[in-house]
Amino acid sequence: MIRVLASDGMNKAAAADLRAKGYEVVEQFYEPEDLKRELANYDVLVVRSATKVREPIIDAAVEAGRLKLVIRGGVGVDNIDVKYAESKGLKVTNTPKASSDSVAELALGHMLAMARYISIANVTMREGKWEKKKYEGVELAGKTLGLIGMGRISQSIARKATALGMKVMYTDIFEIKGLPEEYVCATQEEVLKNADFVSLHIPAAKDGKPVITAEHLAMMKPTAFIVNTARGGLIDEDALVDALEQDKLAGAALDVFAKEPLQNERVMNCPKISLTPHIGGSTKEAQGRIGQEIVEIIENFFNK
């Protein structure tokens, strides 16, 4: 029997579907040293973001000789040493389509929350404060949305933002074909300087350093907002708080962080930052689609 380890859990319907098809599915998180040992008993490893599949784990799995397939339930594969795994004969794949709309909606939700002070007003009202005059916001309509990276998620945001009356400009290292003519392609510097709302949708840098530094934040308008629902560490968190405290930026929204759970107290306590705990893909619909895609990947791999 083919055994599947879902180390970060799995959609119930998907797990049931796999079991009905004759697979054994175990949902259990293991710390790295334990995972190295346990992978000798599995053919497939399914992870989300909590489990890190690094070289020592890959070496142990390859030495044991059973593991054949690693699946990242989600878009990014930063938590997997993909090239190394593939060089050792393991197949690595992800589910890039499943959560695009969910992440896009969260990013757009954060933009609305920042523009209209929804996050902070919710907190201060529960403290008994009625700060109506303080929370004069801005409209998204007529504003420019700048997208850093123009993959599936960014394209989903762009469609939704356009429906709200926003203008779209973007930058990407690749030429993206088939986009609406009204989307303006520009350099990253041009996007940062001209956008009213900037949303990041790029992988982490290979060296792990921030992609958006104090220098980049200084390029932005003091009335601008920045959103990161992509990867933790893309923005220099302390530089971001500095810019917000000095009124060099109007606001920020973060769903991902350099260290998770969030440990940076400056970020936690900054009232100009809208925070969510890495829930970009956490919708019932997205989890269902991710589960279905995982089932399809496993079925196609073992029943070619």
Residues forming the active site: 231, 260, 278
Does residue 169 contact residue 144 with C-beta atoms inside 8 Å?
yes
State how far the Cα of 7 lies from the Cα of 45, in Å rounded to an integer: 7
State how far the Cα of 73 lies from the Cα of 49, in Å rounded to an integer: 8
State how far the Cα of 146 lies from the Cα of 149, in Å rounded to an integer: 9
Q: Which of 70, 8, 2, 82 shows the shortest CA–CA distance to 42?
A: 2
Instruction: Give the torsion sign (CA, 95, 170, 157, 117).
Output: positive
State how far the Cα of 300 lies from the Cα of 29, in Å rounded to an integer: 25
Paired tokens of 146: 């700048």
With tokens 């705990």, the residue in question is 277
Q: Per-residue DSSP letters for 140-174?
A: STTPEEEEES-SHHHHHHHHHHHHTT-EEEEE-SS
